[in-house]
Amino acid sequence: MAATTRTVTGLTSTTKDGVGASPRRPDGTLKVTGEFAYSSDMWMEDMLWGATLRSPHPHAEIRGIDVTGALEVPGVHAVLTHEDVPGEKRYGLEFQDQPVLAFGKVRYKGEPVAVVAADHPETARRAMERIRVDYAVLEPVTDSRRAAMDPDCPPVHEAGSLPEHPEFNQRGNRLRHQPIRTGAFAEAAGAAAREGAVLERLRSEAAVVVSSEYEVGMQDQAFLGPESGMAVPAEDGGVDLYVATQWLHVDQRQIAPALGLPQDKVRLTLAGVGGAFGAREDLSMQIHACLLALRTGRPVKFVYNREESFYGHVHRHPAKMRYEHGASSDGRLLYATAEVVVDGGAYASATPAVVGVASSLGIGPYEVPNVLVDAYGVYTNNPPCGAMRGFGAVQACFAYESQMDRLAAELGMHPVDLRIKNALSQGSRIITGQEIDMPLPMAEMLQRCRDLPMPPERGALPDPGDLRTLPGGVAGTTRGEGVVRGVGYGVGLKNLCFSEGFDDYSTARVRLEVVAGEPVVMVHTAAAEVGQGLVTVKGQIARTELGVEKVVIHPSDTQVGSAGSSSASRQTYMTGGAVRTACASVRAAVFALARERGLVPGDLPDTDLALAGGKVVSATAGALVSLADLLGEAAQGGVVVEETREFHHRPTEMLDPLLGQGASHTQFGMCVHRAVVDVDVDLGLVKVVALDAVQDVGKVMHPQQLAGQIQGGSAQGLGLALMEEILVEDGVIRNPSFTDYLIPTILDTPPMRIEVLEHPDPHAPYGLRGAGEPPTLSSTPAVVAAVRAATGRPLTHAPVRPEDIVGIDL
Amino acid sequence: MEFLSPSTLEEALEAKSAHPDGLPIMGGTDVMVELNFDKRRPAALIDLTRIPELAEWGAEDGCTRLGAGVPYTRIIEHLSAAAPALAKASRSVASPQIRNRGTVGGNLGGASPAGEAHPPLLATDAVIELASVRGRRRVPAREFYLSFRTTARRDDELITAVLLPEPSGPQQFAKIGTRNAMVIAVTSFSLALDAERRTVGTGLGSAGPTPLRAEAAEEFLAGEFDWEGGAPLPEAAVRRFGELVAAASRPIDDQRGSAGYRRHALSVMARRALSWSVTDYRKEATRCA
């Protein structure tokens, strides 16, 4: 199939508001005018406000909880502790290890201990302060490497701490250890001494060897809309929950058992979501609100404030990594070893899956014949970590790309040439043995990225004295003194859709009917619109597949089958695929009806038919009948065609526990970045001048939204490169605010030149590839590489701190 | 919580006298954050936004009298000649929205060592005007900051104005932040050369428990500087000035930066501010000649 390359601004479409066009978002006007109702805006006359009492300690035994004082506060309707949880007392995405409300122990600072409902949020907070909890403070486990390696490290979860799983946590604090062994390492696998001997031999064969330790800090998703939602008790004894989440059905699956209710008594509807990026995969206030609503018989609303939000959701796993690469003198990689420890914090969340990604993609998109990877995910008493855009691949990418730059420097090669020399392509196998059975034009992408025009030199700017163009900005720290320019590259490989044997699917219900003489399509899924624009794409697919202009998007809720999570860059693929499949069934039903009515000449097969312009048309016989005539007005007994379909992607496999082999991933995505930075080398301040990208997306579904995804992912990676880190000391977050947790502003975010390639993936609907995550991987190492180029410093910690650039020991 | 909304200064002073623990509020960019996060719960809020006098500025006895309630945006627009260092500092405050609301009076009331206005006020030897039902008094900025978030203002007093001396030489301000806009100072520095009095002023932000001066650096530079012709200083003198500025700081390690980095950055900013000042001074001298 021929691939096309276009710049994002030059894209056009032939189908009005169909696939490939850039129709406006249905919720766009409301959002820009401030009228869109986010989950925190919900209101009911008789509602109560919830508040959460959280642990002040990272690790402590709970000796007693006294709620008497809180209950005495006028206006308080309920105060609940773990004793009031009627069903399962723990929940979790992968392991059911997280208490709904703490009992026995608290394992991180900020862990919910009790919840209050009152007629005013202030009253709820005041009452909360009167709950007395008797803690016996314990030493926190905060060193993730110690948690992974030291058998004497105290366990965060004692063996047997899940009564129904007495085997739980036999491995101490290790949640998952995933080894990968290939080539000579595979032959020696399992015996440390033999593996060591193999490594020694490979070292002696390599012309150059580079090794280093790297760290990636704990990044926050920094969504703008804090955790919020409202639970409304129902007459049938159940509860209706309106909430901002990423996956309604996985919430339902965890909430209902805690409430002791059957699944169908817990109905969820998606409320307006103010960003997600992985942080809404885990539950926050969902069960608490439902418990209070069922107890009080009143609607209960929760809204976390910004500080509480830092404790209310999981973050990106901080990683400690040791890498070694050996290459021949012509730059060909001979071997690579990696030890990756990701800190899962107090509860498992998505840690095991993150380890699965960090290990399988741990060496990146390179051909390496001998590989030894050990990836660990551990429990500590640090804040829990889980899903965030890039999901384990981000951390590894920073390390392996830094290694590529060191190798190139050692060899005197251009960093792009070294990468091209070892690039994967279609037909290659990654280190798990999985074949890349879709286009992967990595060498071409790198070449294109290098060839993109460079931004003007400082001297060529219209006003080189404009402070906004200088590191430090309008704070005026330099007028050009100490400013050095650097250029760096990064490339990353990301798995798209869910991996490792998960039966990943989405469901769509599509209805076609005639209303007021016009055919109208209704699309109903449970997919979470989190800002990414799926709500637009669903409509585009329905228009393209059914040839109807008017599409209504039904609110997302649990009255239709699961759509899976709005994560892993998967919704356009999966829910898009489900909508397309359901549309195809609707279309087939319409054709059958037309045949039944004798409107289709007998010798015309379905493949000759299409729906276009509100009509059934034949390629050979032209327009056959309008949908309005064929179906008739729905309100007057006309035909309503409705189909519900599931869409599953092809099955994947678990990685085997010894060698880490298996076709664990559904699809691969790639982005390449080139960063150009100006660094004030005396003060350690950085201005990113350009951050240009080349990404292959298989098929551009919505050019404008795609540009937004690539720009946003690039900016999020820039943030991780230069400023975004939750600082945790002894288990305590030191900067739980947007005052001290910095994310890039418009003055930190450069113009971005974006080139999009469309090599279709034959396995995916429309040939598309998930697009949201890949840019988040590669922009971080590209920016850090550019800062290294400007400063000559090793810079092994992301984000880079001014102290690192100027060389001051902390 | 009581909410008082006086419409004249007299009413405001009476309110403050009656509620010495009442918290004045102007733009609310500091006060509201503390209230929203439940870090502070004053018995009364005294809203000063309706008092015209506080929002005015103008010339007065060779100074610029800046009402305590003039937002930073106005200072940037109107006072970049009359108060260059303060105008530069104002430009580095937060975001446009906050600059539209935030005031120098609020900065002085909160007295955070990170407040952008303090280093320029120290460097330029500005004077703070305080008022109460007992009358008005003036306190030099250099005597205003007593200890961490504690100032010379008495409980019944309101900050009504700042008196900014007419510039008689170059003024600089620079602030370190780990992003290029909307950031609280990791540390900041202001320098003012007074050609008439042949004195040097400095101000250091986020460099200790209070805004600080580097007096030894001021004296050193006043002695070394060529006040006649503004000749460039020898490299060793520039370096020494930077060292003396850094030595005057008493920084801590915190989430925004390390003490070591702050000292280093102060010395770099001091050297740069000095070199910019020499350039400006020579330009000025050439123009006058």
Strand (E) or helix (H) holding B113: none
Average of per-residue pLDDT across A157-182: 83
DSSP codes joined into one string, A34-85: T---BGGG---TT-EEEEEEE-SSSSEEEEEEE-HHHHTSTTEEEEE-GGG-
Whether the bond between A605 and the residue before it is cis, its omega within 30 degrees of 0, is: no
CB-nearest to B176 from A474, A477, A723 is A477
> Chain B contact for A744, CB < 8 A?
yes
Mean pLDDT of chain A: 96
Write the CATH number for A129.
3.90.1170.50
Domain that holds residue A525: 505-648
How high is the pLDDT of residue A508? 98
Min Cα separation B30/chain A (Å): 12
- Given a cut of 70, whether residue A606 has pLDDT beyond it is yes
Task: Tell me what percent of the residues of chain A surpass a pLDDT of 70.
Answer: 97
Determine, yes or no, domain membership for A778.
yes
Mean pLDDT on A7-14: 39
The per-residue pLDDT for A163 is 67
Per residue in B181-201, pLDDT (tens digit) is 999 999 999 999 999 999 999
Indicate yes or no: CB of B184 within 8 angstroms of CB of A125: no
Q: Are residues A195 and A73 in the same domain?
A: no
- Subunit contact A803:B261, Cβ cutoff 8 A: yes
Instruction: Enter the tokens of residue A666.
Output: 């559904």
pLDDT range class, residue A171, cuts 50, 70, 90: confident
Q: Name the domain boundary from A265, A292, A313.
A: A313
User: Nearest by CB to A477, which of B256, B258, B269?
Assistant: B269
Residue A20 lies in a domain: no
Q: Which residue among A648, A682, A716 closes a domain?
A: A648
Per-residue pLDDT, B39? 87
**Alpha-carbon span A238 to B239, nearest angstrom:** 73
Q: Say what the ipTM of the complex is.
A: 0.97
**Spatial distance between the Cα atoms of A429 and A664, rounded to a whole number of angstroms:** 12
The pLDDT, as a whole number, for residue A603 is 86
Please check whether residues A123 and A152 belong to one and the same domain: no
Q: Decide if pLDDT at A12 tops 70.
A: no
**What confidence tens digit (pLDDT) does each residue in A249-305 have?**
999 999 999 999 999 999 999 999 999 999 999 999 999 999 999 999 999 999 999
- CB burial of residue A250 (10 Å; 0-12, 13-18, 19+): middle
Interface residues from chain B to A (CB-CB < 8 Å)? 36-38, 88, 91-92, 95, 172-186, 188, 253-258, 260-261, 264-265, 268-269, 272, 275-276
| Test the A interface: residue of B72, B178, B253, B258 with most A CBs within 10 Å | B178
A12 domain residue, yes or no: no
Give the per-residue pLDDT at A293. Answer: 98
A752, part of any domain: yes
- Range B158-185 average pLDDT: 97
Phi-psi region of A728 (alpha: psi -120 to 50; beta: other; left: phi over 0): beta
* Distance (Å) of CA A655 to CA A168, A178, A350, A652, B236: 21, 8, 16, 10, 64
Chain A residues touching residue B29 (CB < 8 angstroms): none
- A-chain CB neighbours of B180 within 8 Å are 468, 471-475, 685, 687, 745, 747-748
d(CA A399, CA A321): 7
Q: Are A339 and A361 in contact (CB under 8 A)?
A: no
Question: What SS3 class is residue A388?
Answer: coil
Report the pLDDT value the prediction gives residue A169, as an integer from 0 to 100. Answer: 72
8-state DSSP, A405: H
Write out chain A residues lying below 8 Å of B254, CB-based.
Answer: 734
Residues A308 and A320 grouped into a single domain: no
How many other CB atoms are there within 10 angstroms of residue A127's CB atom? 26
Residues A248 and A128 in one domain: yes
In one letter, which amino acid is A98?
Q
d(CA B182, CA A613): 51
What would the mean pLDDT of B264-273 be, rounded to a whole number?
98
Of the pLDDT bands very low, low, confident and very high (cuts 50, 70, 90), residue A4 is very low
| Residue A215 near residue A380, CB atoms below 8 Å | no
Q: Residue A767's pLDDT is what? A: 97
Domain boundary among A648, A683, A712: A648
* Res A13 pLDDT > 50: no
Task: Return all residues near A90 (Cβ < 8 A) that are at least 6 apart.
Answer: A96, A97, A98, A99, A100, A162
Chain B partners within 8 Å of A475 (Cβ): 92, 174-177, 180, 183, 185, 188
Model confidence at A670: pLDDT above 50: yes
- Residue B129 Ramachandran class (φ > 0 left, ψ -120 to 50 alpha, else beta): beta
Using DSSP, state whether B197 is helix, strand or coil: coil
Q: Which residues of A touch B175 (CB under 8 A)?
A: 475-477
**Banded model confidence at residue A426, pLDDT cuts 50, 70, 90:** very high
**How many C-beta neighbours within 10 Å does residue A613 have?**
14
Q: Give residue-wise pLDDT tens across range A202-232.
A: 999 999 999 999 999 999 999 999 999 999 9
Do A620 and A546 share a domain, yes or no? yes
CA dist list (Å): A383 to A110, A316, B61 = 8, 10, 58
What letter would DSSP give residue B103? B
Buried b (16+ CB within 10 A) or exposed e, A546-557: bbbbebebbebb
pLDDT at A190: 87
User: Closest residue of B to A733, CA-based?
Assistant: B255
- By Cβ distance, the residue of A474, A482, A803 closest to B91 is A474
Sheet of A228-233: strand order equals A76-80, A112-118, A48-54, A300-303, A228-233, A239-243, A266-270
Quick one: pLDDT at residue A15? 56
pLDDT value for A378: 97
In A, which residues are within 8 Å of B260 by CB distance?
803, 808-810
Q: Is residue A408 part of a domain?
A: no
**Which residues have C-beta within 8 Å of that of residue A727, sequence separation ≥ 6?**
A217, A733, A734, A735, B255
- Report the percentage of chain B scoring pLDDT > 90: 94
H or E stretch at A554:
none
Alpha carbons A115 and A100: distance in angstroms, whole number: 10
CATH at residue A339: 3.30.365.10
CB-based contact, A797 to chain B, within 8 Å: no
- Are the Cβ atoms of A682 and B268 closer than 8 angstroms? yes
Q: Are residues A242 and A128 in the same domain?
A: yes
> What pLDDT is recorded for position A611?
95
pLDDT number for residue B286: 74
Question: Which residues in chain A are contacts of B261 at CB distance < 8 A?
Answer: 684, 802-803, 806, 808
**Statement: residue A11 has pLDDT above 70:** no
Tell whether A473 lies on the interface with B, counting CB pairs under 8 A.
Answer: yes
| Residue A417 maps to a domain | no
Chain A residues 631-690 with CB within 8 Å of chain B: 682-685, 687
- DSSP state letter for B142: G
- DSSP sequence for A591-653: HHHHHHTT-S-TT--GGGEEEETTEEEETTTEEEEEHHHHH-BGGGT---EEEEEEEEPPP--
Cβ pair B264:A808 closer than 8 A:
yes
pLDDT higher than threshold 80 for residue A166: no
Q: Does residue A643 share a domain with residue A554?
A: yes
Chain B's closest residue to A718, CA to CA, is: B179
Interval A675-691 mean pLDDT: 98
Average pLDDT score over residue span A624-634: 97
Measured from the Cβ of residue A161, the count of other Cβ atoms closer than 10 Å reads: 16
Q: Any chain B CB within 8 A of the CB of A810?
A: yes
Chains A, B: CB contacts within 8 A come to 105
Give yes or no: residues A473 and A378 share one domain: no
Is residue A27 a part of any domain in this protein? no
SS3 (DSSP) at A109: coil
- Shortest distance, CA B227 to any CA of chain A (angstroms): 24
- Does any domain span residue A403? no
Interface test with B, best of A311, A683, A730 (most B CBs within 10 A): A683
The pLDDT of residue A758: 98
Structure-block tokens of residue A167: 């085997």
Q: How many structural domains are present in chain A?
A: 4
Residues A624, A518: one domain?
yes
Q: Is the pLDDT of residue A3 over 70?
A: no
Q: What is the residue-wise DSSP string for B200-254?
A: EEEEEESSSSS-B--HHHHHHHHHHS-TTT-PPPPHHHHHHHHHHHHHH-----B
The reply to whether A518 and A573 lie within a common domain is yes
Q: Which two tokens stand for residue B274?
A: 């000095």
> Are both A113 and A66 inside the same structural domain?
yes
Q: Which residue segments constitute the domains of chain B, with CATH numbers given?
A: 2-165 (3.30.465.10), 171-288 (3.30.390.50)
Q: Determine which of A150-164, A431-445, A632-646 has the lowest per-residue pLDDT on average.
A: A150-164
Phi and psi, residue B31, nearest 5° = -60, -45
Instruction: Give the tens place of pLDDT for each residue, A751-810.
Output: 999 999 999 999 999 999 999 999 999 999 999 999 999 999 999 999 999 999 999 864
What local confidence, expressed as pLDDT, does residue A160 receive?
Answer: 75
Name chain B contacts of A740, Cβ cutoff 8 Å.
Answer: 184, 255-256
Are A193 and A297 part of one and the same domain?
no
Of A78-82, A326-330, A574-578, A605-609, the poorest mean pLDDT is in A605-609
Q: What is the mean pLDDT of residues A158-174?
A: 76
